[in-house]
Chain A
Amino acid sequence: MRTLALIGAGAAAAGLAAVTLVIGPSGAQAPAAVADSLTAPVLAAADTAGLPGPRQPVFFRHDIHAGQFKIPCQYCHYTVAVSSEPGIPSLQTCMGCHTVIAGTDTANRAEIKKVRDAWAQKQPIAWVRVHYLARHAHFPHSRHIKALGPTGCQTCHGDVTRMPQVYKVNNINNMGWCVTCHLQRDVSRDCAVCHY
């Protein structure tokens, strides 16, 4: 049976009120390991041109966050296990750590500053979409995470932990690519599993 939400205002906020300011979780929740940030290559925003994948408004380093600091994917992509959508972290989530962490070198300090400014101006960051699944194909992330495990993301998105800037590893719109996987795992390839 459906669960009923209580506070209509809440929904309102969810809808468009990207303006209500609430102090997010304290930095304590963030992984503390700030130790050797030298392991990941130091790259300035300017370098991103040379990297594969679209250039993002903020040079967010998956290789540092997910790779070096081993922050689990679901810490930010919080709905991936429960919903068809992975969920893009709210700015609040970023600030959870970055109220405390200001960066270690000029390059990433500059980027983190962008985040803090955005938070100050209550302006969400408009990320450039990397993976765009054609809308006539329905892909419930939750079930795939359930089947492939919490690190199953890599099956489709590639080893993000090594990507300074995320790019498309597989053409997720190649139906054949999906079908191959379904065949290997002997799960249904009925058309109406994805197309409806």
Chain B
Amino acid sequence: MPHEPKPDAVTRRRFLTVLGASGAGTVALSGCSTDRVEKLVPYLVQSEDQVPGLATWYASTCTECPAGCGLHVRTREGRAVKLEGNPDHPINRGKLCSRGQAALQGLYNPGRVKAPRARNAAGALEEITWEDAIGRLAAKLGGAAGKVAVISGAGRGTLSDLLADWTAALGGRVVRYQALDQEPLRAANQALFGRPEVPAFDFARARFILSFGADFLETWLAPVENQRGFAESHGFNGGATAKHVFFGPRMSLTAMNADEWHPIAPGSEAALALAIAHLLVTEHGRSAAGVADALAAHTPEAAEKESGVPAATIRRIAREVAEARPSLAVAGGVSAQHRGAVELAAAVNLLNYVAGNVGETVLFGADLDGGDGAGALDELGRALDAGQVAVLLVHEANPVYTMPAASGFTGRFRKAGYKVSTSSWLDETAAECDLLLPNHHALERWDDARPRAGVHGLMQPVMQPVFTTMNTGDVLLQVAKKAGGALAKFDAPSYEAHLKSRWQALAGERAAAGGFDDFWRAALARGGLYGERPAAPAVSLALSLPVRASRPALEGDGEFSFVPHATSFLYDGRGTNKPWLLENPDPVTKLTWHHWVEVHPDTARRLDVRNGEVVRLASPHGAIEAPVLVFPGIRRDVVSVPLGFGHTAYGEFTTARGANALDLLPGPAGQPFVPYVAVKVSLEKTGVFRDLATTEGNPRQLGRGIAEAMPLAAAVKGLTVRESYELDGRPPHEVNTERELEAIAGWAEGQHIRTRRGDYARENPQWGMAIDLSRCTGCSACVTACYAENNIATVGEADVLRGREMTWMRLERYWEGGEGAPPLEARFVPMLCQHCGNAPCEPVCPVYAAYHTADGLNGQIYNRCVGTRYCANNCPYKVRYFNWYKYSERSWPEPLQLQLNPDVTVRARGVMEKCTFCIQRIRGAQNQARLEGRPLRDGEFTTACAQACPSDAIVFGDMNDPGSRVNQVKRNHRAYHVLEETNVRPAVTYLAKVVRRGEA
């Protein structure tokens, strides 16, 4: 009955034996085979900070994007098993996005480079020893003085400094290149304020948020920080809330969370921004030192012509902006990065300046990290053409994939004499290289990060390296030792030592009391050093570029403007090798595992294309094929394709995952950034079909009141959902009549008394949850957290097509309006087991596998389940998931299974599974409290989803404890239960979303 994944591979066995020592075992399957000889291999020497069976937490820093969030890493028996946000960290404050959490699957990724490799005579990459590898690089460097170049995507930190010095010593140069960089913003600020930097944006203080294409909840700057701030200001908290207006041709996740989405023509953002600025000056008396005449031409009427947004609407928005102080306008992101991106950024910051947001919500001096931009890469390209690069080292960057083919970068890259990659994964760039020096994963190495002024994040090895990799820092030092010469000065014994010496300097600056060791230990414990954000310097306007608002021309004569977008999971494509990020449906489209092209329903009707129909998109620079997704959230004259697919290397999970949208795009061509919105494409049918692996059933609520919402006016009055319906003059959706409710109540009470037997007669907590939909942005971080915490299998595209995904917690995205009158609106509702008091799933189970625990949970006993699936049929919320195949054996290929949480049983084939309210955490906390002889404290633990939620929308706790936070939230007037009329008494309460339509 139980399916132990066979411990065949070596790494696997090594772990099992060590785990044996703890007895915890790694993969605990529901089953009862006990007749097997298992070895217990104890530690030779007991380590002081590991207790078998208990988790050890380490602080670290996330390197999945330049934001540099702080991490807490949960390890068990020497394996990292879960990533959570570091509450002390100023950027993410204990929260973490899906990409950050999925870093674990990067660590244990089967596609990693397992040892140094070099290209042999046959042209294949064969494994070599580290000694050999370092020898080879040292030798090459010997003859390459002055002809060395480095492309590094690493965030700023000790390593990047070392790399810079190291390269400089060789007379070479480092190009710091990051795919989704903020070059336009930096350039614009240079032009406007003479400060070539990316300021910090304070969403929490903004009372009105204008986004001109910036997907700040997905990939723009620090999404987690943005989302925290956004939830603060935009989430309903009794009083007035910030309004969010989004301008952009496509409805991104950010636009879905806007109160108003204006599908404007691509490239017309600047015109709107300037028109609003114009109105602020002319009609709302904002000071306009030196800009009045610059703005004079940009009337709302002009903007209407450009963007298609009625002048009246622009006036209204301008008035609302004027009334709300401070406001915040942001621009950028992939979908707004066109040839006029610099002008756009300038226009928007001008608007911020006029609205008086600079210094309020737009804070300079934060010095956010960024690269040198694609321009620098272009320069390097010329050097490559000239054959001036003998040795080219690529570190934490994948330009071969992230630069458009049309930029010709790959060809130039090949011209380098000797190409070296430190990539941990065999990505496209690494595949081009002659020598691979795989770096430790961020969780395996010593390192630090300096994402912004005052924030120093530390990374420490939380476990033994999974493979025979080496910290690039050590590689540099050892190569230096071997090569000598100019490099001789890098004499630190190890990178760890080098890092410490740098931190000694930091300690010196701060005159740390108690000496360096205390300082160092404190820093490790906190995960770094978090100084205050430096006071924003006053900036003065130095308009040094003509304020232009003309729409940049798009190349090609295709019918549709091509507006690619970056998804919050795949980012620039570095997420595509992680099953969690591929199976967890894209928050916007709810598609999994494969790419798509978004087409407006009307357009689709006109062209007679249907969902899943593969079409060919052709631009002057190339062509790709993708299945159609009929998507209401896009302009009729625009098509959109996600970035991050179409990898040609990068491991087994990325293969056969669609095409690369960049193939349609031109290169930077002189500009310091890649223009993502630059072409028009033609669309033609291929007659081929490819089913879309979507998790969406019917995206309409059919008046069933699943994702409820109420207007701000009603919310402020403190009305209930039902009252707000009447206020709107809309009929409330079907619920029981008063008399029915009475009858039910009386009857239920009678029944309840007769359930008080055995364990149910004792005093027990009653676990419950509350979810505030006015804070939920649908980012799906909770879903990833659930996958990580509960050993949820990823079933793969074929089974998702059969609707067999295992998302214990899923985010349902319902559409409201759209056809005509009410504008299109997206509603998110996280749907998980509601742990009903009168659970319909329980009485139908013939073997009590589904039953009600004494502490109010809807228990699911995997090892008792025989798999009749009756419970799933009878579950009105459809949150029960069945193991149709032996997912436990196939969804964690070596060495991914090392991530499995030893506290959670891995479910065998043929059993039903579902959300347990993270019962392993409940039991763990209860055990601890009992050992310490104290009662459980509210908030001392929470579920994985609640812990991860960047907007703090989820609250978990004991409903029997009158003081508990969950109880307070449940008493909120916006509280309601999904499908209340079924009288199943859910333990999960939702708080209705608060919307601000039209006038506010």
Contact = CB atoms under 8 A, between A and B. Distances in A.
A119 B24 CA distance: 25
A173 B525 contact: no
Given A4-B58, A5-B58, A11-B75, A188 B524 contact: no
A134 B863 CA distance: 10
Interface string A36-78: 0000000000000000001000000000000000000000001
The winner among A5, A20, A127 for most chain B CB atoms within 10 A is A5
B54 interface: yes
Interface in B190-228: none
Nearest to B862: A136
A19 B28 contact: no
B18 A16 contact: yes
Which of B23, B25, B862: most chain A CB closer than 10 A?
B23
Contacts of B859: 190-192, 196
Contact of B54 (A83, A190, A191, A195): A83
B446 A8 contact: yes
B18 A15 contact: yes
Given A14-B78, A83-B51, A128-B37, A192 B861 contact: yes
Contacts of A189: 758-759
Contacts of B460: 7-9
B57 A5 contact: yes
B78 A188 contact: no
B521 A6 contact: yes
A8 B53 CA distance: 18
A146 B28 contact: no
A18 B31 contact: no
A33 B863 CA distance: 48
Given A129-B20, A140-B927, A146-B930, A5 B49 contact: yes
Contact of B52 (A5, A85, A137, A138): A85
B848 interface: yes
Contacts of B36: 132
Contacts of B42: 88-91, 124-125, 127
Contact of B32 (A3, A9, A15, A136): A136
B341 to A, nearest CB: 41
Given A11-B47, A79-B53, A83-B51, A192 B857 contact: yes
B658 interface: no
Contacts of B452: none
Contact of B931 (A78, A122, A146): A146
The binding surface of chain B is classed by DSSP as loop
Contact of A11 (B31, B56, B759): B56
B944 to A, nearest CB: 14
Contacts of A88: 21, 23, 40, 42
Contacts of B855: 190
Contacts of B940: 1
Contacts of A142: 927, 931
A28 interface: no
B79 A196 contact: no
Interface in B39-83: 39-59, 72, 75, 77-79
Contact of A127 (B40, B56, B524): B40
Given A15-B78, A90-B44, A134-B31, A191 B853 contact: yes
Contacts of A191: 848, 851, 853, 859, 861, 864
A84 interface: yes
Nearest to A139: B23
Interface residues of A, number: 69
Nearest to B463: A15
B30 interface: yes
Interface residues of B, number: 81
A79 B51 contact: yes
Given A11-B47, A146-B930, A196-B919, A126 B759 contact: no
A45 B54 CA distance: 35
A12 interface: yes
B49 A14 contact: yes
Interface string B1-32: 01000000000001001101111110111111
Given A14-B78, A16-B464, A90-B43, A134 B54 contact: no
B23 A195 contact: no
B757 interface: no
A149 interface: no
A194 B433 CA distance: 52
Contacts of B28: 135-136
Given A129-B38, A138-B923, A17 B524 contact: no
B44 A124 contact: yes
A88 B25 CA distance: 14
A12 B461 contact: yes
Contacts of B923: 138, 140, 193, 196
Interface in B483-525: 521, 524-525
A90 B45 contact: yes
B539 interface: no
A12 B21 contact: no
Query: Which of A14, A127, A129 neighbours the largest number of chain B CB atoms within 10 Å of its CB?
Result: A14
A10 interface: yes
B44 A10 contact: no
Given A12-B463, A126-B17, A127-B39, A6 B905 contact: no
A135 B905 contact: yes
Given A16-B18, A122-B44, A196-B904, A129 B464 contact: no
B920 A196 contact: yes
Q: Which of A6, A20, A188 has the most CB of B within 10 A?
A: A6
A143 B927 contact: yes
Interface string A74-104: 0000110111111111111100000000000
A117 to B, nearest CB: 13
Given A85-B24, A192-B857, A195-B862, A15 B464 contact: yes
A94 to B, nearest CB: 9
A11 B855 CA distance: 36
B44 A18 contact: yes
Contact of A5 (B21, B56, B903): B56
A21 interface: yes
Interface string B894-909: 0000000001110000
> Most chain-B CB neighbours within 10 Å: which of A20, A119, A123, A195?
A195
B33 A90 contact: no
B462 interface: yes
B737 interface: no
A92 B46 contact: yes
A89 B930 CA distance: 25
Contact of B461 (A11, A24, A81, A134): A11
Nearest to B20: A129
Nearest to B43: A90
Contacts of A137: 863
B931 A143 contact: yes
A185 interface: no
A13 interface: yes
Nearest 6 A/B pairs, CB to CB: A15-B78, A8-B460, A85-B53, A135-B28, A14-B47, A14-B50
Interface of B: 2, 14, 17-18, 20-25, 27-34, 36-59, 72, 75, 77-79, 446, 460-464, 521, 524-525, 758-759, 762, 848, 851, 853-855, 857, 859, 861-864, 903-905, 916, 919-920, 923, 927, 930-931, 940
25 contacts: A2-B72, A4-B58, A4-B72, A5-B58, A11-B47, A14-B77, A20-B45, A79-B51, A84-B24, A85-B24, A85-B52, A87-B22, A125-B42, A127-B39, A129-B20, A129-B39, A129-B40, A132-B38, A134-B31, A136-B863, A188-B759, A190-B859, A192-B853, A195-B863, A196-B919
Interface of A: 1-22, 24, 54, 78-79, 81-93, 119, 122-129, 132-138, 140-143, 146, 173, 188-193, 195-196
Given A14-B43, A189-B759, 8 more contacts: A4-B58, A85-B53, A86-B23, A129-B37, A135-B2, A136-B30, A143-B927, A146-B931
